[in-house]
Amino acid sequence: MTYGIVNKIIPFSAVDGPGNRTVVFLQSCNFQCLNCHNPETISFCSHCGICIDFCNSDALKIIDNVVIWNKNNCTSCDECIKNCPTNSSPKTTQFSVDELLNKIEKYSVFTSGITISGGECTVQSDFLLEFLKKAKQKGISAFIDSNLHVETEKLKELANYFDKAMPDVKSYNLEKHKLLTGQSSNLVLKNLNFLLKSDKVFEIRTVIIPNILNNEETISEVSKIIAIHNPKLRYKLIKYRKTGVKTPDFANEPSDELMQKLKIIAQNNGCENILIV
């Protein structure tokens, strides 16, 4: 049986795809973004047990070399995360596909579907594939939120079972992408083209980070790609915000003037649906 490691589930969200959706955050990411707001979702827990001594609420135990988190005792002080040597979290839960679907189905009368996010959801691609297959069988609308740094053949397989993706394009420029994330943008752009051609994109997102990224180049190139495939597709330009970032001063927050300037660049390239958030 395939199991997934889940960092968190938000039963109802209005900002993760169309309508009111249940969002599942899978643990682990293949990027190391400088602007990551949830760095504890990047690494899998190695069950070393170091964090147990920092928990004053008896919420962590090690049983058979596995750290077990007791949600009911947890006060969310995050001392375990702060003291983890690998920046991970013991506050994850292992689910089988059926266990996760059963949990989500409790909310389904109030929601329009589910969104699988992360971390990076495609890191756990075997679990994700099985989950998406069963969700589709049950008629549940499933979106994925992805950085698209996944083997194209794997993404094609996944795309048979999800409705739409909400990809991040962090930087068009290969070197700047590597500087921000630790990985190049080649695979991301290749996969973006595949998804656009397959009409599998709900919206594209780019975080604007002044001084670090070539924001104008990224917005210009991505908006041209959007205009070719579907000018009405939403392009979300997201302001970098320092709050919650581990080393927040690595960059400045963008000004409203810069955001407007980028919006105009995208509009001039034929992109009709641009949202600044």
Residues of this chain that interact with ligand SF4 (CB under 6 A) are 45-51, 54-55, 57, 59-60, 67, 69, 74-80, 84, 86, 88-91
Q: Which of 149, 144, 107, 119 is nearest to 129 (CA)?
A: 144
Burial of 87: CB neighbours in 10 Å, binned 0-12, 13-18, 19+: middle
| Smaller CB separation from ligand SF4, 72 or 211 | 72
Amino acid letter, 217: E
Q: Which of 157, 158, 156, 225 is nearest to 185 (CA)?
A: 225
Q: Supply the minimum distance, in Å, between the C-beta of residue 86 and ligand SF4.
A: 5
- Record the tokens describing residue 50, joined without a space: 């170091």
Q: Supply the minimum distance, in Å, between the C-beta of residue 60 and ligand SF4.
A: 5
SS3 48: coil
| Smaller CB separation from ligand SF4, 60 or 265 | 60
What angle do helix axes 125-137 and 152-159 make, rounded to 10 degrees?
A: 20
Q: Supply the minimum distance, in Å, between the C-beta of residue 10 and ligand SF4.
A: 18
| Smaller CB separation from ligand SF4, 86 or 255 | 86
Spatial CB neighbours of 228, under 8 Å, sequence gap ≥ 6: none
Q: Supply the minimum distance, in Å, between the C-beta of residue 72 and ligand SF4.
A: 10
| Smaller CB separation from ligand SF4, 61 or 239 | 61
